[in-house]
Homo-oligomer: A and B are copies of this chain.
Amino acid sequence: MPVQDRQIEERLAEAGVRYTAGRRHVVSALERVDGPLSAAELHLEMGGAVPVSSVYRTLAVLEEAGVVEPHHGARGITRYEMAEWLAGHHHHLVCIECGAVEDIELPAPLEVELERLVGQVSSWASFSAGGHSLEVDGRCARCR
């Protein structure tokens, strides 16, 4: 229904896959919550509507199509959130205790500097730079 959904459907079509009910479920759960969610958390968030096994597969498909982005955290847990072009560019506060992640936006001037830097990095190193993300590590309110 929302504009986003159209864009997602298109993106999936380009990738040659369907935008099925299960996949819509996962996407809308990710849109509902802000901050990345793991497969298990998504499974819960959807009240068990989609089995864990399918959540994993769906996330892989969505990642492949560039609809979601992974974020690797402590204890081998991978959390996903809507890709930058859908959710906007932002950075993360990561709790070193429980792995929870909060989104933050940088003041425009600093963001501009970062952009410029990332551009330079690409030429220094033999490295084709894509995105960038600033992670601030610390302890969240609950773990303090």
Give the B-binding residues of A (Cβ under 8 A). Answer: 70, 72-74, 76-78, 93, 95-96, 102, 104, 106-107, 110, 113-114, 117-118, 121-122, 124-141, 144
Select one of B72, B77, B138 contacting A74, CB under 8 A. Answer: B72
Q: Please give, as numbers and ranges, the residues of chain B lying within 8 Å of A110 by CB-CB distance.
A: 113-114, 117
Q: How many copies does the complex hold?
A: 2
Contacts A76-B77, A107-B117 known; 20 new A-B pairs at CB < 8 A = A72-B72, A72-B76, A76-B76, A76-B78, A96-B130, A104-B121, A104-B125, A106-B117, A110-B113, A110-B114, A126-B140, A126-B141, A127-B140, A127-B141, A128-B138, A129-B137, A130-B138, A132-B136, A133-B137, A134-B134
Q: Is A70 in contact with B74, judged by CB distance below 8 angstroms?
A: yes
CB < 8 Å neighbour of A114 from B70, B128, B134: B134
